Structure 1
Amino acid sequence: MREWIDAAVFAIIAATLIRTFIFEAYTIPTPSMEKTLLVNDFLFVSKISYGPRVPMTPLAVPFTHHTLPFTKYTKAYSEAVQWKYRRWWGFSDIKRNDVVVFNFPEGDTVALNQQDASYYGLVRAFGREKVWDSLGPVTSRPVDKRENYIKRCIAIAGDSVYAINAVVYVNGQPAEVPPKSQHYYSVYAPNGGLNLSTLEDMGIEGGRGGDGSSAIYNLTKDNVTELQALKQAVTSVQPYIPNGPGQGASNDLLYPFVDSLNWNKDNFGPIYVPKKGATVKLDSMSINFYRRAIAIYEGNKLEERNGQFYINGQHATEYTFKMDYYWMMGDNRDNSLDSRYWGFVPEDHVVGKAWLIWMSYGNNGIRWSRLFRTIH
């Protein structure tokens, strides 16, 4: 019995160290990265790529994240001990176009009956009282126990990012478009429409809207090329952008949540991504971009009095950042809740780099062609 207990304890400790400092398994829960990553892709996330993060909440049940299995509300950790953010040496810094796993920045507060949604987004949409009454109980979570998200890093610290008609620009240059990135397109096929089996062969799911001769499809660049080649059936394939520059949609609750900017998901910016040691001026507009970074992510007491800003009790006209930040977006651009909706990802929220698909299954069973594929 003692030998079995010793072996079990050793296995738990070894597995916990590997999971904490080398790599961790992760499952794709949503379609925000399709078709780069599919729902029910099982990944290994490399923690040594950017350097393993020392646990900030060390007292936790092994092999759990924030909630005990088979329970709905019971925490799997204790906040009796909290360590400062530290990261060990890694092989590289985060680069543009890396696929990154990180803790959800707005996940510091969670409505437990709506955990798949941003608490702050719910409050902006429905009001605090309704969220607390209808979707509570509401709880808080430390950084390393917030929900894990996976997106592509579009802009790194010090970059400027903006979008015009769904084309993203970084530092004034068009950003690289991932080969499997998807966007909505209006497809015109007046001679009887498109054959469903043809669409299935191309990996295109059913469209929406349209009048029989046209429909809106979520397409990759390869899909667009294939449809354009069907010249007898398809007369036009055009990007579907419902709102142009300056035509913010009423249901687009976009960061930094300033109505006068009139941004939408395809037209926004420019936005400066904060860099450690960089200084920004504080005014009535810039504070909307950096309020959360200053007060929440970097732990300062920020006050606004009569149009003046006070940080930790001192009058401030500028602020120097203590961390690097990143701008993340999903490859499935029209079906992704990403930095456009909640802003920057601080460096202390970064978990690791998506590395390898070790298992994948869909409606028809195991997707054998995806097994042991590295992620780019």
Structure 2
Amino acid sequence: MKDFWSKLKKFWGNRWVKFSVVSLLYILWFVVWTGNLWLLLGIPVIYDIYISKIMYRLVWSKHKAKKARSRTYKKSMEWVEAIIFATVVATLIRIFFFEMYVIPTSSMEKTLLVGDYLCVSKVAYGPKIPNTPLSFPFVHHTMPFSQTKKSFSTLIQWPYHRLKGWGNVKRGDVVVFNFPAGDTVLLENQSATYYDVLREYQATYGDREGREMLNKQYTVIARPVDKRENYIKRCVGIPGDTIRIINSHLTVNGKPLPEIPKMQYMYFIQTNGTPINKNTFEDMGVAVDDISYNQYTQTYMIPLTAENLDRVRKMRNVTDVEQYIAEEPNPSVFPHDTLYRWNEDNFGPLWIPSKGSSVELNLRTLPFYRTIIETYEGNELDVREGTIYINGRPADRYTFKMDYYFMMGDNRHNSADSRFWGFVPEDHIVGKASFVWLSLDKDKSFPSKIRWSRMFRGIK
């Protein structure tokens, strides 16, 4: 056995063996997997590291000698080298394998809670190559300690390219994606969606005047796909599906979608005048921010799961429970056109585009697909005297270049999702939410704020 390890050590000590193994791994990972032949330029660098050592003689040997002479230089450079190494490794892991994400809102409760820290798998659907490779590490779109200074450069911009993954997005998957309507941002009011604010201005002042006034009052900026806000929702519709919501009940291709066990709807709860104990809400997992109470009518308005709904109905001081169902048309709901009197609880039918499929274009179907044609797939679109023009030519059909998805939150009445801003393009998909590795309750103090029972729990 000792002789075997001695031979193995001698074999691996050969510089040509090291060069061959490292080159093979590099080609499989960075060239074959990414499909980028330009990365073959890295092979001469590997050759120099293990064989020719030109850079070592010109630079690194002097650096090594200086480290030997100066203890201060050695210590400081050890820290620099460690930081650079950690940054490179962490960046590669974040791009190709997985990324951390924290739940900021209650749109996915009770499946996911505010304060859940998730591991998001990039290989589930295949990692996508960054659109803006020149960026400050470990931040998203804004520099640390700043609300406005961008953390990336658009000097180099790469087109959309996704590597091979383990599978495709399926109905029911909990997916992290770049916010489609986040391509344009009001720098001084980033919490508001630009298009929602624009519609309000145009409804008040007219189309042209409203846009001009908005541009005067705010700094309007554009963000590339990979630097838009990250959202997390459940995929309820995949390419080619037709979805419809009737009185808050979702159907896909004419069939009811299986209910998510912890899905929530909003309910009105009438009491006999005696308030519900706050400890009861805490035991049910209802967040303080989600409790709305009208003291004049003794009525609560609270999101409830099916399990919590049964508990509420059995309470002695509860006289009536009624689910909230939106009835009036909501102009904030997609496709934001008076032709369609939809709302969040009565929506559709709506067909979800798939790559290579075609759709008839007319003034009635255009509201559904205008953003896709103009923004997501980069065409010039105009309507003149009732005729639709794409890239200057009359068009009565359009063929889609990408697949699209329809996303909804499990907290149905407290979720800004595809019902409000439409389809999610495939190039916006970031990854699949895999498991919760840490969970902190914002309504409690340390150490009781740690939700131990949720740690390292898979997401369904």
Distance 1:150 1:196 in 2: 29
Residue 311 (structure 2) pairs with residue 226 (structure 1):
yes
The answer to whether the 8 Å contact 2:332/2:420 transfers is yes
Which has the larger strand fraction?
A: 1
What is the rounded CA distance, in whole Å, between the counterparts of 1:257 and 1:159 in structure 2?
21
Aligned mate of 2:114, from 27, 39, 59: 39
Partner residue, 2:216: 133
Offset of residue 326 of structure 1: 0.5
Rounded Cα–Cα distance in structure 2 between residues aligned with 1:298 and 1:355: 30
TM-score by length of 2: 0.76
Report how far residue 336 of structure 1 moved: 1.1
Larger mean CA deviation between 105-114 and 172-181 belongs to: 172-181
Gaps in structure 2 of 5+ consecutive residues:
1-73, 202-209
Tell me, what secondary structure is at the counterpart of 1:75?
A: coil
Distance 1:322 1:48, change over 3 A: same
Highest Rg: 1 or 2? 2
- Of residues 230, 236, 239, the one that matches 2:323 is 239
Q: How does 1:97-246 map to 2 (within 5 A)?
A: 97-126=172-201, 127-134=210-217, 136-190=218-272, 192=274, 194-204=276-286, 206-209=291-294, 211-212=296-297, 214-230=299-315, 232-243=316-327
Contact conserved, 2:267 with 2:324, CA < 8 A, in 1?
A: yes
Partner of 1:263: 342
Deviation at 1:235, TM superposition (A): 4.3
Shift of residue 357 of structure 1?
A: 1.2
Native 8 Å contact 1:112 1:137 kept in 2: yes
Paired residue type of 1:180: K
Could you tell me how far apart the structure 1 residues matched to 2:357 and 2:182 are? 26
Alpha-carbon distance in 1 for matches of 2:89, 2:404: 32
Distance of aligned partners of 1:200 and 1:288 in 2 relative to their CA distance in 1, 3 Å threshold: same
- How many angstroms apart in 1 are the aligned matches of 2:253 and 2:405? 14
| Contact 1:193/1:214 (8 A) holds in 2 | no
Q: Which amino acid aligns with 1:215?
A: Y
Structure 1 length as normaliser, TM-score?
A: 0.93
Give the conservation status (yes or no) of the 8 Å contact 2:198–2:214: yes
Cα separation, 2, equivalents of 1:129 and 1:31: 35
Whether the aligned pair in 2 keeps the contact of 1:207 and 1:218 (CA below 8 Å) is no
> Which residue number in structure 2 is paired with residue 248 of structure 1?
329
Q: Specify the alignment match of 2:148 in structure 1.
A: 73
% same residue:
50
Give the aligned partner of residue 333 of structure 1. 412
Between 17-26 and 29-38, the greater mean CA deviation after superposition: 29-38
